[in-house]
Each structure stands twice: as C-alpha cells, then as structure tokens.
A and B are shown apart, each in its own frame.
Chain A
C-alpha cells in the first residue's frame, strides 16, 4: 500500500497551520485545476502551495487565511504556471479513514473523499479535530527553489560517473504525463553500466528516483509503487521533495548532490522540537 497523502507535505502543513489545525489534518489537494466553493455555513480556510489568486464573491483577498461567510463563494485558482495548492478547513474536512489514513487513493478507489476526486456538486463537511496528530514533516512556507537536494541512491554502483554528472548538472522538465505516482523528468537520458535495465525488485519509497531502461528518470511521489525493479539513482529528501512536487505540471528541476548525513540533517530540521 503506498503512503499516499499530500504530494507537498510542506504546503499541506502550511495551509493547516494557517487554518489553526495540526499539520496533517485532512485537507484538499488541488492538482491542475481550481477550487470553487459555495459556503453553506461560515468557514475559515488556510491556503498554501504554488501561488494562487483567491477571491470571495469575485473580490480578490490576500493572506494565507480566508474567512467565507455562509452564502458567499470562494474561488481559488493558480496564479502561475504551477497548478498545485492546498485548502485546509478549520478542524479538517470529513474523510473516509481506510487502513488508518484519511488520504484518497484514487487508483484503489478507497479512502478520503469516497476514493475519488471531488467533482462539481459534491458537498464537503468539516469534521471534529483529530484526537492526536500523526507524524509528518513541517517546514517553512512555500517557494520554488533553484535546485533540490538529492543523495546517491540505493543502486549507486550501477551508474557510471557520466550518469551522475548528467543527473546533477542537467536541467530537467517535469513531463505533463506525470501524476501522483511519479513525476517523469524530460531532459538528459541516464544510462547504467552495461545497460543493466532492471534489478531484483526491492521496496522503494517516495523521493527515490528510478531509471527505467529508456533512461527517463522518474521521481516517485506519494502514490508511488511500493516496490520496483528499476535501478534507483538518487533519493530526494524532504522538504526538497515537497518543493519539487510544487512545480507541477511542467516546472524545471535541477538537483544538487548532498551526502547521506546532510540528507538526514535536512529531514531532522523539518520537525519542530518536542514533536514525535
């Protein structure tokens, strides 16, 4: 079962923080579209992710937190070419909890919002605050960095120096065929030694970068396969993975190499002191 959940954990946490929620409170992820809601009751919502234009009854509003009184309408739409954002309602949005998660896993048609994307006409409900927060990385507000940190991956010994030079110096473009399972990166093609196309299937996690025989790297995301047979060239730690996610659908991506220790420190710095 994939971890599923938000592609951009940093922005989910930021939207929730703005709404006064725990960082991992169920919220809406909008990928490649806009959000248009009519309030049947007063609500407050925190918004984060790629930059958006927010309007209440047609009037533009500013700030991370928006108050929408009953009978009024909220429109949130992307303001740049990046089309991913989060809308977190105070106390959270009601979700089906399956296997302990409120995430929507659309491939399996279960969890979250009836196992599917929200469509026009749907009603959304607030829920009671969750009993205790679950573990998630929390970080600084959204921005689009020039490069993303990455550490050499599980199958580093299968890739020659040229492949790593290409990986750490090229500018890739996220392919429009990308989705919640993985972001395909168009640009330099990467080759293993001896053209070794596949490896014995091993468990993989979001953030790992797999290279199929055609040489196109794929960054595994929240809904990714849990095991895979393509060589893993690198691992992108949080919060860099969230920042990369924020460049949906066709953002430019560069990587810079860090060591294993630096990757651990990067992840450690994401947790506020005292949290589990």
Chain B
C-alpha cells in the first residue's frame, strides 16, 4: 500500500522553482529507490508516492533530503524544443472566449492577439493524459477557472486558468476557460513519450482559419 510525500519548493509559480522540481524528479527516478512507486512533478511541488511496507515516511524524507543536497537544477528550456501550434479560436471551439474578452475590456480578436503574441514554457504535464500546462499569460487575459467545472471539454481544447494557459489531450470534465481548439493532436499513447510537448519545451499559438 502507498503513501504520498509532497516536497514543496515554494508558493509561487516561476520557472526557477519549477526547474528545481524537475531536477529532483529526474534524480529520484534515477536513484532507483526500492520504495519508489511514482514521482510526479508539478509547478512547485514534487509528489513522491512510496510503498510504505518497504520504507517509513521518515526514511523516505531522509533519502530525499540527502538527494536534494546534491541535485543541481538545470535551466528550464536549455535543450528544449519550440513548437508552433495552430488554434481555431472562439465560436464552438472556444465557448468562453467571448465572456473572457468582455470581462477584460477587450474584443475577441484583441484577446486572441494577446494570447498568440507570447512564447510560453511548459511547466508540467498532468490532469489527464496529454494535458499541457503552460505559463505565463499576459495579465490582461489572465482569468480564474470557472466556479463549476464543465462536465465535458473536448480533446484539443485550449484554455486559460489564472496565469496558466494550456490544452486538453483527451476529452474530460474541466474547469478552465476554453478559448479555442488545437488543429492537430498532440497526444498519442503509442508514441514514446505519448505527449509531443514535454516540460521545458516552448510553445507559441497561431490563429488558424
């Protein structure tokens, strides 16, 4: 049976902190601990799932502490790739674009223009298969999640939640503000790795007709 230990690197979302999370994640996987079940990186937290019949929480904490002393974070995006992804914005593909733009005092075109004008860095994968978390959006279009998640967001949907932007690899419930949909699939379970976009990669969106 398993227990989960959370290693926290900070409270704010930034690339420097995120780089430390990924560095420790890599180190944990390479160390081949007998108690390790899973290591899951996120913005500023690394969740380590371990077999508690093999080691106690204290033993795992101690091993992680020792490992983190010798782990040096690389700069995120050093060897990363840059991707340009086509997006159909608004309408049925982006049901929240209209309200998001209005609340921000923008036209839909202006909001799209702001979204496509930045190069984002992938902080992490998570949520559902192929879901990619990117940051950070321009403050003018940063918008909180919906208070009640939708029961269905279609695969490829591009959204905004707070200062994060990202997209869904499969259809699922979801709470993000959906502003468009990707033209191409970015997730294939048979591919290695299944997600085209990996943490550290850079992404730009481009308006598709």
Interface residues of A (CB under 8 A from B): 1-2, 98-99, 105, 107-110, 135, 137, 154, 177, 181-182, 197-198, 200-203, 205, 212-214, 216, 225-230, 238, 264, 267-268, 270-271, 276
Contacts and interface: CB of A to CB of B under 8 A. Distances in A.
B42 A227 contact: yes
A57 B172 CA distance: 40
Interface string B38-61: 001111110101011100000000
Interface centre among B1, B41, B162, B171 (most CB of A within 10 A): B1
B100 to A, nearest CB: 16
B84 to A, nearest CB: 25
B162 A226 contact: no
Contact of A198 (B3, B133, B162, B172): B162
B35 to A, nearest CB: 11
A271 B129 contact: no
A198 B6 CA distance: 18
B189 A108 contact: yes
A198 B148 contact: no
Contacts of B77: none
Given A181-B173, A227-B42, A270-B1, A201 B126 contact: yes
Contact of A202 (B6, B128, B171): B6
A225 B126 contact: yes
Contacts of B173: 181-182
Contacts of A154: 6
Contacts of A201: 42-43, 124, 126-127, 133, 164
A268 B161 contact: no
A98 B189 CA distance: 8
B129 A202 contact: no
B175 interface: yes
6 contacts: A2-B128, A154-B6, A197-B147, A203-B41, A212-B148, A268-B1
Of B3, B49, B51, the most chain A CB neighbours within 10 A belong to B3
B180 to A, nearest CB: 20
B88 interface: no
Interface residues of B, number: 40
B126 A227 contact: yes
A135 to B, nearest CB: 7
Contacts of A271: 1, 53
Contact of A203 (B40, B149, B170): B40
Contact of B145 (A1, A108, A229): A229
Contacts of B151: 177
Given A181-B173, A267-B52, A270-B1, A225 B189 contact: no
B142 interface: no
Given A177-B151, A212-B148, A200 B43 contact: yes
Contacts of B172: 107, 181, 225
A198 B145 contact: yes
B52 to A, nearest CB: 6
Contacts of A225: 126-128, 172
- Give me the 3 closest cross-chain CB pairs, A-B, nearest first: A227-B126, A203-B47, A203-B40
Nearest to A215: B147
B106 interface: no
B144 interface: yes
A260 to B, nearest CB: 9
A202 B45 contact: yes
A69 B18 CA distance: 59
A230 B151 CA distance: 16
Contacts of B79: none
B147 A202 contact: no
A229 B172 CA distance: 15
A109 B188 CA distance: 10
B52 A213 contact: no
Contacts of B49: 205
